[in-house]
Amino acid sequence: QVQLVESGGGLVQPGGSLRLSCATSGFTLDYYAIGWFRQAPGKEREGVSCINFNVGDTYYADSVKGRFTVSRDSAKNTVYLQMNNLQPDDTAVYYCATDHGSSTFAGVFSPASYYYWGQGTQVTVSS
């Protein structure tokens, strides 16, 4: 059974940092990609980062480049999103997803490319 569970969200002041975790089970990370997405109220879900273990590449949206870093703990089957210098515009529910099970590729930042999703974790940036 494929599962993705996000954690690590919370309330942080502008300029602060958070590290989100995406614990995975039921499949082997080595052959797939993990995407990080976020969705703010009234807005569409947008991709912020992707790590593709199959080809060894990482990707970042322009809005987070230089501030967010995606990484992996192989022993724990967990992917992390380190978020630094957070700003109010980063406030959203953050989701991780995998393309395992997907037969569609619409781009690394397209939700349509991903099949299994976590439940999301809230990140609020406010003073």
Question: Between the CA of residue 32 and those of 12, 105, 115, what are the distances in Å?
Answer: 31, 12, 11
Cα(109)–Cα(121) distance, rounded to whole angstroms?
Answer: 18
pLDDT reported for residue 106: 87
Per-residue model confidence as pLDDT tens digits over 45-83: 999 999 998 888 999 999 999 999 999 988 889 999 999
Per-residue model confidence as pLDDT tens digits over 17-39: 999 999 999 998 888 999 999 99
Pick from 10, 37, 7, 8: nearest CA to 109: 37
All residues at 6 or more sequence positions from 43 whose CB lies less than 8 Å from its CB, including other chains: 92
Question: Between the CA of residue 3 and those of 24, 81, 123, 124, what are the distances in Å?
Answer: 6, 18, 21, 25
Cα(61)–Cα(24) distance, rounded to whole angstroms?
Answer: 23
pLDDT reported for residue 54: 84
Please report, as a single letter, which amino acid is at residue 39: Q
Paired strand residues for 119? none
